[in-house]
Amino acid sequence: METKKCNRCQEEKLLNEFYTRGKNKNPQSMCKMCFNSYCVERWTQRKIDAITYKGSECVDCKIKYPEEPYVIFDFHHRDPSEKDVDWSKLRLMSKEKIKLELDKCDLLCSNCHRKRHHQEFL
């Protein structure tokens, strides 16, 4: 069986342990495990960068990152009609597009975000 060395972990692995790309189905440079870890790290860093860009503080209750974990922060669109995409899609876009969308948002912790949406329905 044919093998390949992963550029990240430096382990020799079977070709089926690599994602393929392109018409020729060439294996990627990182194994699946390393590639998946890389994607999680990149997406986590994108969110942290976005939180920092928005001031690292919930605009309602003033809790801050990094004192509180990044996972509790949300981006609330002040005007939902101006929302182009949600975070799950936005995080895959260029930094410039991310900033354009973030400029339409307030940084909120998840509790304050829920409170805002709850108030919209009262």
Domain spans in the chain, listed from the N-terminal domain onward:
1-45, 54-122
CATH architecture of the domain 1-45 equals 2-Layer Sandwich (3.30)
| Mean pLDDT score, 86-90 | 76
Query: Angle, nearest 10°, between helix axes 95-102 and 32-53?
Result: 40
Q: What is the pLDDT of residue 107?
A: 98
Within 13 Å of residue 68, how many CA atoms lie on the same side as its CB? Answer: 17
Task: Quote the percentage of the chain above a pLDDT of 90.
Answer: 72
Q: Rounded mean pLDDT of 89-110? A: 90
Confidence label for 44 from pLDDT (cuts 50, 70 and 90): very high
- Whole-number Cα distances in Å, 50 to 16, 35, 93, 96, 113: 35, 22, 12, 11, 16
Q: What is the pTM of this model?
A: 0.84
